């Protein structure tokens, strides 16, 4: 397994990410969810993808939290493009 550095996104990138993921639905994510592909691609955390339904539910919960966080960031002017 290899590790990568954390990434920081600028204001414009954050607004774009927030806009792009705001249109995603749990149904779309469920349809594209492929734990075997994530194992093959060494997506962290590997141990999660070995679990059955729990992995999908964990991803959906975290994705909803990320959508909320990014929406809050943009709505409160913490990601404004200049």
Check residue 65 and give its pLDDT.
93
Which residue matches tokens 């093959």? 40
Residue 34 CA to residue 14 CA, distance in Å, equals 26
pTM comes to 0.69
What are the Cα distances from residue 15, in Å, to 1, 8, 26, 45?
Answer: 32, 13, 21, 27
Check residue 58 and give its pLDDT.
83
- Average pLDDT score over residue span 75-80: 79
pLDDT range class, residue 18, cuts 50, 70, 90: very high
Assess contact for 29 and 64: CB atoms under 8 A.
no
* Mean pLDDT of the residues in the chain: 81
Q: Is the pLDDT of residue 13 over 80?
A: yes
């Amino acid at each position: 397994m290899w590790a990568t550095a954390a990434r920081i996104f600028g204001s414009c990138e954050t607004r774009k990410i927030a806009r792009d993921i705001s249109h995603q639905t749990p149904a779309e994510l469920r349809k594209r969810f492929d734990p075997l592909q994530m194992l093959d691609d060494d997506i962290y955390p590997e141990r999660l993808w070995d679990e059955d339904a729990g992995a999908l539910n964990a991803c959906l919960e975290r994705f909803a939290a990320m959508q909320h966080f990014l929406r809050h960031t943009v709505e409160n002017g913490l990601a404004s493009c200049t």
